[in-house]
Each structure stands twice: as structure tokens, then as C-alpha cells.
């Protein structure tokens, strides 16, 4: 082995913040369904705590032996709306508490799957789950929730879009910070290891290990070496770097799966930023040649980045899945925050950016007086982008109760802080009030 390769690898981890963002174990809860809610919850607790009993231990072992930081250990379960529907329960908060208890005992950071899939319509458990979200998030700290309101195949459930706008307002009235645990999706994926949107899809195996990597710092550093050169060189450089980053994800995931005796699912090729300096997707875009993220050209630079990361990553691992694209969560990206504060990045530009990358309007604080209809309008717009472009889109906005543009919301840790951003003041009230279903687009009929 060449010394240069060893040093390069060490530098990627030690100086450029390369790490495994998460090892997420997906656990199917279908065998926990029971007509008695109490019994169902006991089965859920038992299944999660036995399936994932060694998850944290194994992740820590890998971290020690290979010197690769593994930031989060997470669990994703089958959408609870499907599991709880068979019970007579009218309120699903107790299921969230069971998830919280299991996560706490295991020492995992987050547990996702307090979810409902309503892109085509509501089954009996879906509305109950959605109604339980505000209280569930208020009473737990590790539980993450998601609702899929649209898809390319099914169109957009406008009733659900309206309901989610109201739900987000209700959560924010209690504590805006709880909003970061809820994602509203279109084209949600079954094997996403990232939170808050992870759940274990219905077509998945009983248990599976999925891995999410994070390496914006490594890409940024690699691009510093090709300043002034043609954009072709930039693309090539990103591909090479993404290959190495993804190899690490593949390696760590396969070791973890082997030691846990669970099949290895996918590596998610996303570039996930953190609020730490030098761990920013916005900085990559600026390195490509923008004075600031948000400048005209941002969408083009992001499209190139997103595509090159995938091209480099796809060859590096057996199975690619999850969201696989660059993330642009405002609060979690130090440079993105700076651009918003300086007035160089607005919600409309972010929306355009979501058309070419994963995942959507993510971790954005909006003024406290933003109405439920406006939030629903944002959800509908993102869902439409996802539906038409065959891609996952999402909305994770935080109405900052009592705050206005220029104020900030603090989330802490990996979630960072979000400057409150202006929302177009006109109202989509009548559109949202229509309810019903936006039909699936013509290009979804592929058979």
C-alpha cells in the first residue's frame, strides 16, 4: 500500500470531516400487528430492542478499529399508520412513546417511521396517525415522523397537503423546534437512511442495514486543486472523490451488516452537510465558481454536483438507494446560513434548486405568521416538482412562532440554526381549500 494513499485517507477523515453520517437499521413491524394496541406495542418494543440490540456496540467497534467516525446510529420502522390500523386505538401517541422507549434503551440517536403513506388516499390508520403527530413529537425527542402526500404514479393528495399545513402550524404553536422531526414527502423512498424521513418500506426485507455518508468537505478540498479549469474537469474531480467517499460507506456498511447478521441494503450517495466549518454543500457550489450560493448559476452548479456525485458513487457500491443527492438543509449548512443572512439566498431560489437535487425545502424557518395555507402551498409546489420530475421532494419547514424575518431559530447539534426567511405574502387559501386529488401526470403511464 502506498504511503500517499494512506495519508490521503487519513486526511479525508481527520481534516475534511469525512464520516459516516448514519448507520440505519430498517426493521419491519408487520409481524407486530395486533388487534389489541397494548399487545402490538409490546411486540414492537420487543422486536426493535432484540433486532437492534448490538447496533450501537457494533458501530462503536467499527469506529474504533477503522478510525472512521460514525456520527449517528438510527432505526427506521414500517410506517406506524399501517401497523396501528388493525388496533382499535383512536390515538397513536402511545406508539411514538414505545418507539422512544426502545430507542432510548438501545442508545440510538433517532428512530423514524411514525409515518403514513397517503399519496392516493387515506386508509383508516392514516388520519389518526396524522392527528397524533403534534403530541407525539412534543412528548418524544428521538422519534421522527414523515407523511408521503404525492408520487409520480399516484398524483398529489391535496386533502393531505391541506392537513399537513395545519399539522405543521399546530406543532409550531407548541414548540417550533419539534417541526424538524417531521418531513412531508412526494415520492418518498423505502430505504432512506436519513432522518427525519427514514421509514422501512413495505417491500423491504425483515431487517436491513442502510448507510448514509457525508463528505462535502472532501469534495470541496478536491475542487480547490482544479481552480480555473474547465467544468469538465470539475465534474471529473467530483466523480473521483465521490467514488472514494462511497467506497468507505460500502465498506463500513458491509462490515456492520456482517457483524450484526443482517443483510446489507444500500448506500445513500447523498452529500450531507453539517453546521461545522468546512462541511458545507454551499461551499462546494462557491468553489465551483459562485460568489455566493443563491447567485444566478446556482442551480446549474448544483445539478452538475448532484449528477457527478451519483456517477462516481454508483460504481463504488453494490446497491445504491435512499435519496442519493446533495442535501441543501439551510440550518445545517454554515455557508447557506451566511448566504441567507446576507440576503443572497431566498426560498424561491431554494425551490428551484430542489428541482435538481435531493431533497426539498429542508430545515427552513419561516415567519411565525405564515399561514397553514401558505405552508400547504409550499408543500404542494414541492410535491409537484417531485411528481413531474420523477424525484423525491420534501418539505421540512419550521414556522418560527412569534418570530419574523431576520430572527433565528436554534436547533442545536447537527441541526444547527436557521435564520427566518421571507415567504411570499399572497395566500393560496382557495386552492388548498378545494381539496381532492391532483391526477398523476401523463408520463407516469408507462406500461
For another protein, the binding residues (CB under 8 A) are 1-3, 5-10, 64-68, 244, 247-248, 250-251, 255
CB of 212 to another protein, least distance (A): 17
C-alpha cell at 25: 437499521
User: Nearest to residue 379, comparing CAs of 400, 364, 368?
Assistant: 364
Distance CA 432, CA 434 (A): 5
CB of 273 to another protein, least distance (A): 21
Give the nearer residue to another protein in terms of CB position, either 5 or 427.
5
Give the nearer residue to another protein in terms of CB position, either 18 or 339.
18
Beta strand pairing status for 19-27 and 70-77?
parallel
User: Nearest to residue 326, comparing CAs of 359, 300, 352, 279?
Assistant: 359
CB of 226 to another protein, least distance (A): 20
CB of 247 to another protein, least distance (A): 5
CB of 211 to another protein, least distance (A): 13
Query: Which contacts of 1-4 are long-range, i.e. CB under 8 A and separated by 24 or more positions?
Result: none
Which residue's C-alpha cell is 407486530? 32
CB of 5 to another protein, least distance (A): 4
Give the nearer residue to another protein in terms of CB position, either 5 or 124.
5
C-alpha cell at 124: 383508516
C-alpha cell at 304: 452538475
Beta strand pairing status for 437-438 and 155-157?
antiparallel
CB of 68 to another protein, least distance (A): 7
Distance CA 90, CA 436 (A): 24
Give the nearer residue to another protein in terms of CB position, either 63 or 444.
63
CA atoms within 13 A on the CB side of 128: 21
Give the nearer residue to another protein in terms of CB position, either 317 or 432.
317
Q: Is the dihedral of CA 62, 273, 188, 110 positive or negative?
A: positive
Give the nearer residue to another protein in terms of CB position, either 2 or 224.
2
Give the nearer residue to another protein in terms of CB position, either 4 or 446.
4
Q: Who contacts 249 (Cβ-Cβ below 8 Å, separation ≥6)?
A: 20, 211, 212, 213, 267, 268, 316, 317
Amino acid at each position: 500500500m502506498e504511503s500517499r494513499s494512506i495519508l490521503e485517507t487519513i486526511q479525508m477523515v481527520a481534516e475534511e470531516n469525512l464520516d459516516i453520517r448514519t448507520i440505519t437499521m430498517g426493521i419491519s413491524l408487520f409481524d407486530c400487528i395486533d388487534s389489541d394496541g397494548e399487545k402490538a406495542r409490546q411486540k414492537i418494543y420487543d422486536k426493535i430492542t432484540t433486532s437492534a440490540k448490538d447496533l450501537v456496540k457494533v458501530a462503536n467497534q467499527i469506529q474504533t478499529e477503522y478510525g472512521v467516525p460514525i456520527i449517528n446510529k438510527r432505526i427506521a420502522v414500517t410506517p406506524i399508520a399501517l401497523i396501528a390500523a388493525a388496533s382499535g386505538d383512536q390515538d397513536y401517541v402511545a406508539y411514538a412513546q414505545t418507539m422512544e422507549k426502545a430507542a432510548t434503551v438501545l442508545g440510538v440517536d433517532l428512530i423514524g417511521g411514525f409515518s403514513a403513506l397517503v399519496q392516493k388516499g387515506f386508509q383508516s390508520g392514516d388520519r389518526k396517525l396524522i392527528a397524533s403527530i403534534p403530541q407525539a413529537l412534543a412528548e418524544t425527542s428521538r422519534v421522527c415522523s414523515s407523511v408521503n402526500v404525492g408520487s409520480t404514479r399516484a398524483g398529489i393528495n391535496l386533502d393531505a397537503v391541506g392537513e399537513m399545513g395545519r399539522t405543521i402550524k399546530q406543532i409550531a404553536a407548541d414548540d417550533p423546534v419539534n417541526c424538524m422531526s417531521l418531513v412531508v414527502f412526494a415520492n418518498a423512498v423505502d430505504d432512506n437512511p436519513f432522518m427525519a424521513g427514514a421509514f422501512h418500506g413495505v417491500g423491504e426485507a425483515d431487517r436491513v442495514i442502510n448507510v448514509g455518508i457525508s463528505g462535502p468537505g472532501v469534495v470541496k478540498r478536491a475542487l480547490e486543486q482544479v481552480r480555473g479549469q474547465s467544468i469538465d474537469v470539475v465534474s471529473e474531480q467530483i466523480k473521483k472523490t465521490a467514488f472514494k467517499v462511497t467506497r468507505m460507506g460500502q465498506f463500513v456498511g458491509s462490515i456492520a451488516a456482517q457483524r450484526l447478521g443482517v443483510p446489507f441494503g444500500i448506500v445513500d450517495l447523498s452529500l450531507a452537510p453539517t453546521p461545522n466549518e468546512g462541511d458545507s454543500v454551499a461551499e462546494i457550489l462557491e468553489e465551483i465558481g459562485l460568489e455566493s450560493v443563491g447567485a444566478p448559476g446556482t442551480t446549474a452548479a448544483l445539478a452538475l454536483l448532484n449528477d457527478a456525485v451519483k456517477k462516481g458513487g454508483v460504481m463504488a457500491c453494490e446497491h445504491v438507494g435512499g435519496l442519493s443527492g446533495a442535501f441543501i438543509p439551510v440550518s445545517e449548512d454554515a455557508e447557506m446560513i451566511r448566504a441567507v443572512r446576507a440576503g443572497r439566498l431566498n426560498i424561491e431560489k431554494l425551490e428551484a434548486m430542489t428541482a435538481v437535487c435531493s431533497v426539498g425545502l429542508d430545515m427552513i424557518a419561516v415567519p411565525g405568521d405564515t399561514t397553514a395555507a401558505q405552508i400547504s402551498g409550499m408543500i404542494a409546489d414541492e410535491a409537484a416538482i417531485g411528481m413531474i420530475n420523477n424525484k423525491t421532494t420534501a418539505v421540512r419547514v419550521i414556522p418560527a412562532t412569534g418570530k419574523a424575518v431576520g430572527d433565528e431559530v436554534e436547533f442545536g447539534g447537527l441541526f444547527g440554526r436557521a435564520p427566518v426567511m421571507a415567504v411570499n405574502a399572497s395566500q393560496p387559501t382557495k386552492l388548498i381549500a378545494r381539496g381532492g386529488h391532483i391526477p398523476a401526470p401523463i408520463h407516469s403511464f408507462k406500461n
